[in-house]
Amino acid sequence: MSVGLVMPKATFGKDRRLLNAYDFKQVFDNNSVRVAHPKLLILAKPNSLSTARLGLVIAKKNVPTSVARNRLKRVVRESFRTTTIPVPVDIVFLARKDAHKLSPEEMSTLLQQSWHKLALRLEQEPKANA
């Protein structure tokens, strides 16, 4: 019999991921919000779903080893999973050159700041279009 541990409700199922090339292309071609940093770029496009979705682009050219790419993916997914994005959007995270050289703590802090900037810009965006 197992001890009753309460698991967090923040999951990262298929409904929270960009799964195909069409979804990625839509964000690349029609993004309305960008958050840029020398180590990362976040592109976002509002969607008609009830939740935010994340896609990762971590090129071998920018992050050479598979260990570093996988570690970076884990950190980004965990950060996204535990952050509340106020508007349903499709997000593409792109790792830039040497993103893997940040420690997981530094990357996590940078991601929290980036998600916050993204949320602020998303909340301002409809007013700009009105």
Beta strands in 38-111, from DSSP E residues, in sequence order: 40-46, 53-57, 89-95
Of all residues in the chain, the percent with pLDDT exceeding 70 is 88
pLDDT of residue 123: 86
Is 110 within the bounds of a domain? no
Is 119 within the bounds of a domain? no
Is 106 within the bounds of a domain? no
pLDDT of residue 15: 86
pLDDT of residue 84: 87
Is 84 within the bounds of a domain? yes
Distance CA 107, CA 113 (A): 10
Q: Mean pLDDT, to the nearest integer, of 81-91?
A: 91
Is 69 within the bounds of a domain? yes
Distance CA 93, CA 57 (A): 6
Backbone angles phi, psi at 83, to 5 degrees: -105, 140
CATH, residue 58: 3.30.230.10
Split at pLDDT 50, 70, 90, the class of 130 is very low
Asked whether the predicted pLDDT for residue 1 surpasses 70, the reply is: no
Domains held by the chain: number? 1
Is 33 within the bounds of a domain? yes
Place of tokens 């959007």: 89
Distance CA 92, CA 40 (A): 10
Using DSSP, how many helices (H) and how many strands (E) does the chain show? 3, 4
For residues 11 and 74, which has the higher predicted lDDT (pLDDT)? 74
Average pLDDT over the chain reads 88
**pLDDT, tens only, 33-52:** 999 999 999 999 999 998 99
pLDDT of residue 8: 53
Domain that holds residue 63: 14-96
Strands in 33-37's sheet, in edge-to-edge order, are 33-37, 40-46, 89-95, 53-57
Which residues are within 8 A (CB) of 129 and not within 5 positions of it... i.e. 6 or more apart? none
pLDDT of residue 6: 53
Asked whether the predicted pLDDT for residue 12 surpasses 80, the reply is: no
pTM: 0.85
- State which amino acid sits at residue 92: V
Is 128 within the bounds of a domain? no
Is 114 within the bounds of a domain? no
